[in-house]
């Protein structure tokens, strides 16, 4: 079962990182192009190219933060219906009074994931918050940092999110009653 969770986490983390980088680059490119057009489309001399590159770099790091939420939402869809190590996560249909049997949703769409994503995201927030408290305690006790959050930046937060994702998958089936692990 541990191999299932590791494979699930690995492909999820890979998807989140790549989707986040892609969406961040697209958003930063759009903003840079819009600003370039708003300035009247000046000739591309080396000074303008340098300015455009600096604009892109500035907006890229801001858009990475915005794209992270979209990447996290999009990544949940791909957790389902793909086997890992002989198991697969499945999302149950909601039971209705006129429907006697509860089956599984196949294929899972984004509309089916709103409640699941909300519960999973809150679980991820609590796990990441716990990691931050533990890291803060360890920093205070074992490192020479003067200020408590000298070590904290967005890359550390991304690392906490990726590490917390692994634990969230383990706790997700207990937290979300419509998610089951099915043996293939």
Measured in residues, the chain has a length of 184
Peptide linkage before 84 cis (omega within 30 of 0): no
> How far apart, in whole angstroms, are the C-alpha atoms of residue 156 and residue 62?
16
**Model confidence pLDDT, tens digit, residues 65-79:** 999 999 999 999 888
pTM, to two decimals: 0.85
Nearest CA among 124, 1, 130 for reference residue 71: 124
**Model confidence pLDDT, tens digit, residues 3-38:** 999 999 999 999 999 999 999 999 999 999 999 999
**Model confidence pLDDT, tens digit, residues 52-66:** 999 999 999 999 999
Cα-trace Rg, the chain: 21
């Amino acid at each position: 079962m541990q191999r299932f969770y590791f494979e699930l986490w690995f492909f999820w983390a890979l998807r989140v990182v790549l989707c986040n980088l892609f969406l961040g680059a697209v958003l930063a490119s759009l903003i840079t192009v819009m600003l370039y057009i708003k300035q009247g489309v000046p000739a591309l001399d080396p000074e303008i190219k340098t300015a455009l590159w600096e604009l892109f770099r500035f907006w890229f790091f801001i858009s990475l933060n915005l794209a992270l939420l979209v990447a996290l939402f999009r990544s949940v869809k791909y957790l389902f219906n793909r086997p890992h190590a002989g198991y697969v996560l499945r999302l149950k249909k909601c039971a209705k009074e006129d429907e006697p049997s509860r089956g599984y949703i196949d294929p899972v769409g984004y509309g089916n994931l709103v409640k699941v994503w909300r519960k999973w995201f809150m679980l991820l927030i609590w796990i990441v918050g716990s990691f931050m408290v533990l890291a803060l305690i360890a920093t205070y006790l074992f490192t020479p940092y003067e200020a408590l959050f000298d070590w904290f930046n967005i890359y550390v937060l991304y690392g906490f999110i990726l590490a917390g994702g692994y634990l969230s998958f383990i706790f997700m089936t207990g937290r979300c009653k419509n998610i089951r692990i099915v043996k293939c």
